[in-house]
A and B are shown apart, each in its own frame.
Chain A
Amino acid sequence: MNFSWMAWTLPTVLFFVTILVLLIGMGVWEFLSPGGNPRVGILRFETTRGDRLFVSLLGSAFIHLAWLGLIGPNVWWALALSVVYAVGVFKLV
């Protein structure tokens, strides 16, 4: 099968592989510690670790967009900020 129409590039492959690894990692985590670890954090509503991953990914996307819109094309700092944000979400939300 020819997938050249999908126009794959190394950065986008790495991006999707990262997402896939995260999802597999969450699956393994759930297998080792079932139940999703629900808790009420600073947002004052119950979240499971799947919710926290979703909030982390969605928030990271907007951090990157805000960085591109307000600062510039170098997104490495936005990536670092997103990692800090994701750690914060998993600790506090």
Chain B
Amino acid sequence: MEKTWNNKAWFMVLPVLVLVAFSAVIPLMTVVNYSVQDTFGNNEFFWAGTDWFIQVLHSSRFWDALQRNLLFSVIILSIEIPLGILIALNMPKKGFGVPVCLILMSLPLLIPWNVVGTIWQVFGRVDIGLLGYTLAALGIPYNYVNNVFDAWVTLIVMDVWHWTSLVVLLCYAGLVSIPDAYYQAAKIDGASRWSVFRYIQLPKMKRVLLIAFLLRFMDSFMIYTEPFVITGGGPGNSTTFLSIDLVKTAIGQFDLGPAAALSLIYFLIILLLSWIFYTVMTTSDAQN
């Protein structure tokens, strides 16, 4: 069939182009401009060349924060993805339980990030928080304010509580889209529970898992609000992730040049890792 060419259709994408230009392209251009200059306010800028990039790349503060970010993302993904799949597999597929489970799963996603941070900050306090007080009553030493391990555990548990639901909902959507004929065929063949999961459910969930994986990776790699509210980057710098470091540099110190250079490096790392994940997962999908 011959294609119909209508160049007026280009006007249909114009609103999106304008939106992307104002929300992404213009801010990104501004950040690039700031990254090669220095400013002391008053809209006055002085050429700095690549100095800020060299400064960021040679600072241990940047590499330490990057390592913390990578470690946090690895831990989060290795918990939330299997846990999300497990919960989705065990959710009811029909009946009254479906809307109940879906609503319960959606609740954490509806809570704003700073509120989640505040909830867990209070929840973990030894004097008034349910978690902190209970652990203290049981004789378990727990204090996320001055213990690095406790601070990390609190952030990880908080993130798992907040975001596993997203993985669950995506996996559940993938699972309910599998036609019954697949399960019937597996039953006739006498397939085990594991085989059904490995050869029917997992391949059918692959696309939604890719989305869940990418969303959770990018989100956990860019995490800011919750750790800022709960630990403020402490104890010491133990939970200072790149985003917190970036805000401290840009707003705390008003070093806009180094902050712009740091944010560009940060952006490139996220872009590279997301592209690698996406390519690896879509390529293996195509090969299958």
Contact = CB atoms under 8 A, between A and B. Distances in A.
Interface in B11-42: 26, 29-30, 32-34, 36-37, 39
A77 B283 CA distance: 34
B62 to A, nearest CB: 10
A58 B275 contact: yes
A15 B283 contact: no
A7 B37 contact: yes
A65 B47 contact: no
B271 interface: yes
B53 A68 contact: yes
Contacts of A46: 286
Interface size class of A (residues with CB under 8 A): 20 to 34
B43 interface: yes
B54 interface: yes
A4 B43 contact: yes
Mostly, the A contact residues are helix
B283 A12 contact: no
A7 B39 contact: yes
Given A58-B268, A68-B57, A9 B37 contact: yes
Contacts of B286: 45-46
A65 B30 contact: no
Given A4-B43, A12-B36, A73 B30 contact: no
Interface in B41-80: 43, 45, 47, 49-51, 53-54, 57-58
Contact of B33 (A12, A62, A68): A12
Interface in B239-288: 265, 268, 271-272, 275, 279, 283, 286
A56 to B, nearest CB: 13
A45 B50 contact: no
B33 A73 contact: no
A24 interface: no
Contacts of B45: 7, 9
Contacts of A84: none
Contacts of A5: 30, 43
B268 A45 contact: no
Given A45-B279, A68-B54, A73-B50, A7 B268 contact: no
A7 B57 contact: no
A23 B212 CA distance: 30
B50 A62 contact: no
B33 A65 contact: no
A65 B286 CA distance: 33
A75 B50 contact: yes
B29 A65 contact: no
Given A5-B30, A11-B36, 15 more contacts: A6-B26, A7-B34, A7-B37, A9-B47, A44-B283, A45-B279, A46-B286, A61-B268, A62-B272, A65-B268, A68-B57, A69-B54, A69-B57, A73-B50, A73-B51
Interface of A: 4-9, 11-12, 15-16, 44-46, 54, 58, 61-62, 65, 68-69, 72-73, 75
17 contacts: A5-B43, A6-B29, A6-B30, A7-B39, A7-B43, A7-B45, A9-B36, A12-B32, A46-B286, A62-B268, A62-B272, A69-B57, A69-B58, A73-B50, A73-B51, A73-B54, A75-B50
